[in-house]
A and B are shown apart, each in its own frame.
Chain A
Amino acid sequence: MSTATIEAVCPECDAAVRFDRSPLNGQVARCADCGAELEVTSLSPLTLELAPEVEEDWGE
Chain B
Amino acid sequence: MTVRASIVGGSGYTGGELLRLLLGHPGVEVAQVTSRALATQPVHRSHPNLRGHTELAFVNPQEMAPCDVLFLCMPHGKAAGDIGRWMELAPLVIDLSADFRLNDGERYQRWYGETHPNPGALAEAVYGLPEVSRQRLPGSRLVSGVGCNATAMTLALLPLARAGLIRRAICDVKVGSSEAGAEPSAGSHHPVRARTARTYSASGHRHLGEVAQSLGDLDVDATVTAIDMVRGVLCTTHVEPTRPVEMKELWKLYRGAYADEPFVRLVADRSGPNRFPDPRVLVGSNHADVGFAVDERSGRIIALCAIDNLVKGAAGSAVQSMNVALGRNETEGLWFPGLHPA
Q: Which of B247, B271, B272 has the most CB of A within 10 A?
A: B271
B248 and A13 contacting across the interface, CB-CB below 8 Å: yes
A residues near B268, Cβ cutoff 8 Å = 13, 34
Q: What are some 10 contacts across the A-B interface (CB < 8 A)?
A: A12-B248, A15-B251, A33-B251, A34-B251, A35-B269, A35-B271, A37-B271, A50-B270, A53-B270, A56-B275
Q: Mark A40-60, 1 if CB is under 8 A from B, else 0.
A: 000000000010011010000
Give the complex CA separation of A33 and B252 in angstroms: 12
Main secondary structure of the interface of B (DSSP, over half): loop
With an 8 A cutoff between CB atoms, is A28 at the interface?
no
The reply to whether A36 and B271 form a contact with Cβ atoms under 8 Å apart is: yes
Q: CB distance B271 to A13 under 8 Å?
A: no
Q: Contacts of A53 on B, CB cut-off 8 Å?
A: 270-271
Q: How far is the CA of A34 from the CA of B275 in the complex (A)?
A: 9
| A13 CB contacts on chain B under 8 angstroms | 247-248, 251, 268
The CA of A9 and the CA of B252, in the complex, are separated in Å by: 13
Q: Kindly list 14 other residue pairs between chains A and B, CB separation below 8 angstroms, not including A12-B251, A56-B273.
A: A12-B247, A13-B251, A14-B248, A33-B266, A34-B251, A34-B268, A35-B269, A35-B270, A35-B272, A36-B270, A36-B271, A37-B270, A50-B270, A53-B271
Q: Nearest 6 A-B pairs (CB), nearest first? A: A35-B269, A13-B251, A36-B270, A53-B271, A14-B248, A35-B270
Which residue of chain B has its CB nearest to the CB of A53? B271
Q: How many residues of A contact B (CB 8 A)?
A: 14
Shortest beta-carbon distance, B104 to chain A, in Å?
Answer: 40
CA distance A24 to B252 in the complex (A): 29
Q: Would you call A34 and B269 a contact (CB within 8 A)? A: yes
Residues of chain B within 8 A of A12, CB atoms compared = 247-248, 251, 270
Q: Please tell me if the beta carbons of A34 and B252 are within 8 angstroms of each other in the complex.
A: no
> Are B251 and A14 neighbours in the complex by a CB distance under 8 Å?
yes
Q: How far is the CA of A59 from the CA of B160 in the complex (A)?
A: 34
With a cutoff of 8 Å between Cβ atoms, the chain A residues found around residue B271 in the complex are 35-37, 53-54
**Smallest CB–CB gap between A17 and chain B, Å?**
13
Residues of B within 8 A of A50 (CB): 270
**B residues 252-270 in Cβ contact with A at 8 Å:** 252, 266, 268-270
Residues of B within 8 A of A15 (CB): 251
User: A56 contacts which chain B residues (CB < 8 A)?
Assistant: 273, 275
Chain A, residues 15-30, CB within 8 Å of chain B (1/0): the string is 1000000000000000
Contacts of B247 in A (CB 8 A): 12-13
- B274 to chain A: closest residue by CB: A35
Residues 261 to 316 of chain B near chain A (Cβ within 8 Å): 266, 268-273, 275
B-side contacts of A36, CB under 8 Å: 269-271
Chain B, residues 218-260, CB within 8 Å of chain A (1/0): the string is: 0000000000000000000000000000011001100000000
List the B side residues contacting A35 at CB < 8 Å: 269-272, 275
Smallest distance from the beta carbon of B205 to chain A beta carbons, Å?
A: 30
Cα–Cα distance between A27 and B270 once the two chains are bound (Å): 18
Query: Taking each of B251, B270, B271, which has the highest tally of chain A beta carbons within 10 Å of its own beta carbon?
Result: B270
